[in-house]
Amino acid sequence: MSKSTKPIAIIPARGGSKRLPRKNVLPLQGKPLIAWSIEAAIQSGIFERVIVNTDDDEIAAVAKQYGAQVPFMRPAELATDTTTSIAVLKHQLEYHQAQGECYYDMVLLQPTSPLRTAVDIQTAWQMYCDQQVESLVSVTAVEHPIQWTFVDDEQGLISPLFDQVLKRSQDCEQHYRLNGAIYITRTEHVLCEERLLHPSSCLSYKMPTERSIDIDTEFDFVMAQAVIHYYEKLTE
């Protein structure tokens, strides 16, 4: 069995999206949503293979059209609303192992993050290699301080979740959230431990808010279109 020193990119794309139907093939500024991630992965030049994992014939056809590989169609039992990403990734990696292909590292690129660029992927991968960590995940700054978070009771009365005395935003420590764009990890963590991020050896790759849109709703889609249009205007 050969073991590649280059990572494998896996782009999971289920056909049955509920909140935004057929979102993975919706045209975003002239090309299907999933094509943005495929092209960024290929242009990064770091991958042995760029794989789309899907249960949908149309998504598979679009993936192949834009240069990705679809080695098999995802079985129905792994294409439900409750299927976890880990289950899908583990199944994909086990398929490659059965074919005599083995990878030290894998990169998960969700198709709902179209504004992640080839440079983002290259930079994140270089950081992961340079720091010799077990995993890396892309993040973006939390838009408002978490110290401003409140909870309410049955009567609708609110109280602060953290400090009783609210601080000014500039006095609060900066926090970050996952943005869903890039996940890098050792394949053994997925195959043997069934987890994506190592709890004590996980590096962050910080991305700006405008490139961190994760499309789940029609509003997200409109926001992504607006950001792309804005960048296009800057280059005219």
The SS3 call for residue 225 is helix
- The model carries a pTM of 0.94
| Domains contained in the chain, number | 1
* Residue 127 main-chain phi, psi, to 5 deg: -60, -45
| Helix (H) / strand (E) containing 184 | strand 176-186
Q: Is residue 149 part of a domain?
A: no
* Residue 51 main-chain phi, psi, to 5 deg: -110, 135
Residues spanned by the domain of 79: 2-141+176-234
Q: Is residue 168 part of a domain?
A: no
Q: Is residue 187 part of a domain?
A: yes
Is residue 177 annotated as a catalytic residue, yes or no?
A: no
CATH code at position 52: 3.90.550.10
Distance, CA of 176 to CA of 78 (rounded, Å)? 31
Q: What DSSP character marks residue 74?
A: P
Cβ distance 102 to 3 under 8 Å?
Answer: yes
Q: Is residue 165 part of a domain?
A: no
Q: State the 10-residue block means of pLDDT for the chain, 236 residues long.
A: 84 92 96 98 98 98 98 96 96 97 97 98 98 98 90 92 77 92 98 96 97 97 96 85
Which member of 19, 22, 74, 168 is catalytic? 168
Q: Is residue 160 part of a domain?
A: no
